[in-house]
Amino acid sequence: MYFSFTLHCTTMRSLLLSLSLCLLLFVASSEALRLRGEQQPAQRAANSVRYASRLDAPSPQGRVVGGSTVNIGEWPWMVSIQNQYGMDFCGGVVINETWILTAASCVSGLRARNVIAVTGTVDTYNFSSPYYLVDEIHIHCNFDKPLYHNDIALLHVNENIELNDETAIIPLNEIDELQEGEKLSFAGWGTPSADGTRSRYLLKSDGTYVDVEKCRSELGDTEDVDLGHVCVQMAAGKGTCHGDTGGPLINEQGELVGIGNWGVPCGLGYPDVYARVAFYSDWIRTIINGCGIA
């Protein structure tokens, strides 16, 4: 089936979206929560095409399967990572005027020119939101060595990000002082259930910090959790799901503590696992200061 029509919009992003709608519509679900043995989010996202009209999208709900909708400006550092067709597939976070932090599994194997970063929105169907072209992708050199470790990446955008009430830089939690039971919050556009579709609206939820040893035990004594991870225990019915990889985990002081890595989908009462920002602070500074290898 082919669809052909013209979108009357002057922005490059809208033009790309219009062209994508003229393609043969093979729509792959973008399951961007890492699961053992499955494709990485970047691989699933490479050719996904947004096909639904924003006029057909559902209205926001006050509570959506374990999460609640985020108001505009409430999480101003949040970024929607999208492919060249305008399909969002991962989350990210603004850490300075030209750099975005996300998960390596979100962008591994992708060309920078095919990645777009959208800021200042809680609605992925808001096509007037500011967007930036990614011109550099820096993936941790030990990503997936061993598997599910060092899942962190930096994206450099082609122009300074406009900062205002709806878009802001988040401070990094560089001193690792998390305490057992400490409240941590996350947000993402992932699916509200294991077999659901990605949320149009940004959702948030919260849980409590679990130390590495306890987290490892809760997940079956797996070696896929180490000191480079932060674990969050959610109540049953809450938690990350497909599409939440790369999203931010913050503490009550509004500092970035973690970047979404992997988990047991979805909301089954197991801890969710994030890259520990404090553990990677030296790597982040090295890349931003131009000392890393492109």
> Taking the alpha carbons of 242, 246, 247, 248 in that order, is the dihedral positive or negative?
positive
Per-residue pLDDT reduced to its tens digit, 21-49: 333 222 223 333 565 445 577 766 655 55
* Contact partners, residue 82, CB within 8 Å, separation at least 6: 88, 89, 115, 116, 117, 118, 124, 131
Per-residue pLDDT reduced to its tens digit, 139-181: 999 999 999 999 999 999 999 999 999 999 999 998 888 999 9
- Identify the residue with better confidence: 171 or 238: 171
Q: How far is CA 198 from CA 23, 29, 87, 240, in A?
A: 21, 9, 10, 12
Quote the pTM value: 0.80
Give 63's pLDDT tier (boundaries 50, 70, 90): very low
Q: How far is CA 211 from CA 175, 203, 227, 278, in A?
A: 15, 25, 9, 14
Give 8's pLDDT tier (boundaries 50, 70, 90): very low
pLDDT score at 60: 34
Closest to 121 measured CA to CA, from 166, 151, 162, 154: 166
Contact indicator for 234, 205 with CB cutoff of 8 Å: yes
Per-residue pLDDT reduced to its tens digit, 193-209: 776 677 889 999 999 99
pLDDT score at 11: 45
Burial per residue of 217-239, b for 16 or more beta-carbon CB atoms within 10 angstroms, e otherwise:
ebbeeeebbbebbbbbbbeeebb
Q: Please state, in angstroms and rounded to a whole number, the distance separating the CA atoms of residues 109 and 129.
A: 26
Check pLDDT > 80 for residue 65. Answer: no
SS3 of 286, please? helix
